[in-house]
Amino acid sequence: IKLDADIAGGDAPDVYWDYLGRVNKYANHKYALPIFLTFEELDDYLPSALAPVKKNGNIYALPGSFWAAVMIVSKTLVESVGLGSFLEDVSWTIEEFLMVVNSVQERYGSEYYGYVLFASGTGGDYWGSFGWLSSFGAKLYDNGKIIVGSKEGIQALNFMEFMSNSGIAMPGAAGLSYKENLAAMPNGNVVAAGNSSGAVMKPIELLDGSGFIDAVIMEWPRAPGVEQVPVAVGPDAGMVFAGTKHENEAMELLRYINSTEVQQLICRMGGRFASRLSVGNVLADNQSWVTASDIIARHGTFDIGVGLEKYAEIRNAWPPVLQSIFTGELSVQEAVDRFVSEGTAILGE
């Protein structure tokens, strides 16, 4: 609100640095100066990190460090059914994931689950469904357009519907929230869940007080033919307002704020992840951070929409898509068609 007032009064800042979900409102041709990166700079940024700040070929913000939503897996549960070998190289397939869930349910019963799908609100949405879109090579957005209606997007949502209907996912997905997701590992009855890398830094105490389990970070399971499984992230970003009277100085400041050295410090102190390859391995003694960083370096980041000018509005339209699918109100295709129609209207406002 203050920033809007400052802009209206002709007193916009020279440089604005914040969470990209807020910067996005201004990081476009209406407010921001385009940023021209050198070839060396372009090579140093993860291409997928630059994608959300590009609009029609121009870069309007620099992506900073970010938090990441990874898949964590109960190593204790998987090893208890003799399938610990699936976890050895951090990579697995949908088929292997289903084999683990089937073995766990055969041994422990139907009140053990493969995953916690949830759709009661936007909170933690990066843990709920976005990883499964990656599993099938699908995207929500590309260059400011909704593309979840692709063949891969439909396949991913069909799989989530299958998990919900078959008992692989915890029952009642339409009404569950991120709280049930966060309780998955402490409850001890779920194979995998979305979470942060820090969740597996030490053994997880079971809620019933019966002991501890070990959890590990894994890539999202890959569907046949899929090579890249990007990770949902929440990046900071910075831009230069077009009205600045100090364009060169502002651009220099923005580059400094997002320099390799500053990102190294932020990642080291905050356990965050780098958008620049030159940051390197700044937390070599933190295995969970190293594993997550390696996955991000190999697979890139998943665009959750934080670069969209109307991110908050269109984000609110996603949970009803999942709710309508999980309750059987709409078919997958009908739910996606409605989202594309409503979301495109929001983006065009």
C-alpha neighbours within 13 Å on the C-beta side of residue 270:
15
What would the pLDDT profile of 270-324 be if each residue is shown by its tens digit?
Answer: 999 999 999 999 999 999 999 999 999 999 999 999 989 899 899 999 999 999 9
Query: What is the three-class DSSP state of 129?
Result: coil
Task: Name the band, by pLDDT with cuts 50, 70 and 90, for residue 56.
Answer: confident
What would the pLDDT profile of 322-337 be if each residue is shown by its tens digit?
Answer: 999 999 999 999 999 9
Tokens describing residue 278: 């030159």
CA separation (Å) from 347 to 40, 158, 171, 290?
33, 26, 33, 37
**Residue 58: what pLDDT?**
95
Q: The whole model's pTM is what?
A: 0.92
207 φ/ψ angles, rounded to the nearest 5 degrees: -65, -30
Tell me the percentage of the chain whose pLDDT exceeds 70.
Answer: 100
What would the pLDDT profile of 67-90 be if each residue is shown by its tens digit?
Answer: 999 999 999 999 999 999 999 999
349 has pLDDT over 80: no
How far is Cα 286 from Cα 282, in angstroms, rounded to an integer?
A: 9
Q: What is the mean pLDDT of the chain?
A: 95
**Residue 169: what pLDDT?**
97
Query: What is the three-class DSSP state of 157?
Result: helix
240 has pLDDT over 80: yes
- Measured at the CA of 223, the angle between CA 335 and CA 92, to 5 degrees, comes to 130
334 φ/ψ angles, rounded to the nearest 5 degrees: -65, -40
